[in-house]
Amino acid sequence: MTDNISLSFSHHGSPHTFDFPPTATISDLAERIYTSLSIPQAHQKFIITPKLGILKYPFPNPILPLSSLLSKKIILLAPLPSELSSFAAAAAATVASTPRSQRRTPTVKPTPYRDWQKTQDHATYTFSTLRPLPYLPNPEKSLRFLQRLRDDAGIKASMRKHKFAVGVLTEMNPAEHTTHESRTLGLNRNRGEIIELRLRTDAYDGYRDYRTIRKTLCHELAHNVYGEHDRDFWDLTNAIEKEVEGNDWRAGGHALTDQEFYNPEDGGVDGEHMDSGGWTGGEFVLGGGRSDGSGPASAKHDGLGRRELMAQAAEERMKRQREAEK
C-alpha cells in the first residue's frame, strides 16, 4: 500500500495540512478546500513559490500532481466563508430593493480587438489584494491610493515585463516604522508576499507625494528578485524606474487633489530609509546611498527631482524653525 502525501498551505495566516493519495492533482486540492473550508473553487487562487507563480481555478494544468508541490510554499488567496456569506447577502438585498422595472440587462456592444495574452498577464502579474489599515483615519482614501498604484500604467507594464505577482499591497502605519534617526518608506516581505508602503504623513493629516511613493514601490518590487542592496539590485531598480516612467502615458500621473495626496511639508526624502534590504541587508536612504556609503548615489541630493528638492527644503526649514523656538 502506498503512503499518502501531506500538502501544507496557509490561508489568512492560518496553516492547513491535507492528506492525499500520491496521484492527487491540484484539482483534488481545490475540491478538498471546497468541502473542508467551504470556499468554492471559483474563489480560489494560489500563490506558489518558487517558480510557479499564481494559479487560479480553472487551472492551466488541472492534472498538475500535488507531489510536485510538496517542497514549495503555497498561499491560498480567497475570502473567508463568512465574507462570502456577507457578499451574497448584500447582493441579494440590492436586487430585492431594486424595482423589477429597473432590472434591465445592459446592451452588449461589440468590442474592438483585444490582446488577450496581455489582458491575462495584467490579471496575473499584479497585486492580488489591496489592504488599507482600517484602524487609521479615512481608510477609503488609502484604498483609492493603493488602487491608483495598482492601475498605474507604468507599474502595470513593468510588473508584466518582469512577471511580478504580489500577494498583498498594503499601507504602513507611520508610528510603527519611525525612530529618532529614520523613517521607513517601504518593506517587502518574503519576495512579494506582502509589500508595505508609507502612504500617510507622520501627523496622519494627509498623504505623501505620489511620485515618491511610486519610486519606493519600484524599489520594493526589485526585492522580489534581490534581497541585498548590491549592484544587481540597483541595476534592476533603475531599470524598473525607467520602465515605469517610460510606460506611463499620463506622464507620471497627477494628484486627485493637491490637499489629498500631497503635503509640501512632508517631502518623503531626507532622513528616511527605503527599507532594510527587503528580507535582510543594508540600509538605504532615499536620495543618498546605503548606510555603508555604497549604492548608486552618495551625495545628499543626487537623483532628486525639482519637486522633491523643494519638499526637502521646506521640511528642513521647518526643522530649523522648531529648533529656533526651543
The amino acid present at 122, given as its one-letter code, is: H
In this model, does residue 103 exceed pLDDT 70? Answer: no
Enter the DSSP assignment of 227.
S
Confidence of residue 266 (pLDDT cuts 50, 70, 90): very low
Q: Crossing angle for the helix pair 139-151 and 153-162, nearest 10 degrees?
A: 60
* pLDDT tens by residue, 185-234: 899 998 889 999 999 988 888 899 999 999 999 999 999 999 899 999 99
Please provide the size of the chain in residues.
Answer: 326
Can you give the pTM of this predicted structure?
0.48
Enter the C-alpha cell of residue 317.
Answer: 526649514
In this model, does residue 8 exceed pLDDT 80? Answer: yes
pLDDT of residue 258: 37
Q: Crossing angle for the helix pair 153-162 and 116-124, nearest 10 degrees?
A: 90
The amino acid present at 59, given as its one-letter code, is: F
Of 58-67, 88-97, 256-265, 312-321, the least confident: 256-265
In this model, does residue 83 exceed pLDDT 70? Answer: yes
From 171, 196, 220, 315, active-site residue: 220
**C-alpha triplet 274, 171, 125: angle, nearest 5°:** 85
Kind of pairing, strands 14-20 and 5-11?
antiparallel
- SS3 for 72? coil
Give the Cα separation of 98 and 103 in Å (integer): 7
In this model, does residue 112 exceed pLDDT 80? Answer: no
pLDDT of residue 120: 79
Among residues of the chain, what percentage have pLDDT more than 70?
66
- 220 catalytic? Reply is yes
- Mean pLDDT, all residues of the chain: 78
pLDDT of residue 312: 62
Contacts of 93-100 with C-beta under 8 Å, sequence gap 24+, read: none
In this model, does residue 325 exceed pLDDT 50? Answer: yes
Enter the C-alpha cell of residue 269.
Answer: 526624502
Mean pLDDT, rounded, for 78-84? 82
Give the Cα separation of 34 and 215 in Å (integer): 40
In this model, does residue 161 exceed pLDDT 70? Answer: yes
**C-alpha triplet 78, 80, 58: angle, nearest 5°:** 30
Confidence of residue 24 (pLDDT cuts 50, 70, 90): very high
pLDDT of residue 118: 72
Sheet containing 186-189: give its strands across: 127-131, 166-171, 194-197, 186-189
Mean pLDDT, rounded, for 89-93? 65
* pLDDT tens by residue, 280-296: 332 333 333 443 444 44
pLDDT of residue 113: 62
pLDDT of residue 247: 86
